[in-house]
């Protein structure tokens, strides 16, 4: 699965660090040098047949079962971080 293009390419490293930290806090084993691989752990837990490379056979429901928990947890953490900054 190719990495999605982000609006600010320079933010990739920071987003990867955030993903690794958030998913580790959720109890997933995360390789800090390859945080994107946590999606395979989530897929295995959810019973989704996610393979390395092309996954066009997945339904949108299956893809959401994998991406939803990862992205959702990252968004919650970013909101929490923003709220902390506003308090300062």
The pTM for the full model equals 0.80
pLDDT, one tens digit per residue, over 13-67 is 999 999 999 999 999 999 988 998 999 999 999 999 999 999 999 999 999 999 9
| 83 domain residue, yes or no | yes
Residue 55 lies in a domain: yes
Is 71 within the bounds of a domain? yes
| Burial of residue 25, with CB atoms counted within 10 A of its CB: 0-12 exposed, 13-18 middle, 19 or more buried | exposed
Tokens of 4: 């999605």
Q: What residue numbers bound the domain in which 74 lies?
A: 9-87
Question: What DSSP letter does each residue of 15-40 carry, written as one string?
Answer: HHHHHHHHHHHTT----TT-GGGHHH
- Tell whether 49 is covered by a domain: yes
Task: Answer yes or no: is 3 within a domain.
Answer: no
In a domain, 2, yes or no: no
- Radius of gyration (C-alpha) of the chain in whole angstroms: 14
pLDDT score, position 4: 65
In a domain, 33, yes or no: yes
| 69: in domain | yes
Total number of domains constituting the chain: 1
């Amino acid at each position: 699965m190719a990495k999605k293009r982000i609006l600010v390419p320079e933010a990739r490293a920071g987003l990867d660090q955030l993903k690794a930290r958030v998913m580790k806090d959720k109890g997933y084993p995360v390789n800090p040098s390859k945080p994107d691989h946590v999606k395979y752990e989530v897929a295995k837990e959810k019973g989704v047949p996610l393979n390395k490379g092309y996954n066009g056979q997945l339904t949108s429901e299956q893809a959401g079962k994998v991406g939803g928990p990862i992205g959702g947890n990252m968004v919650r953490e970013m909101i929490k971080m923003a709220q902390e900054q506003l308090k300062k």
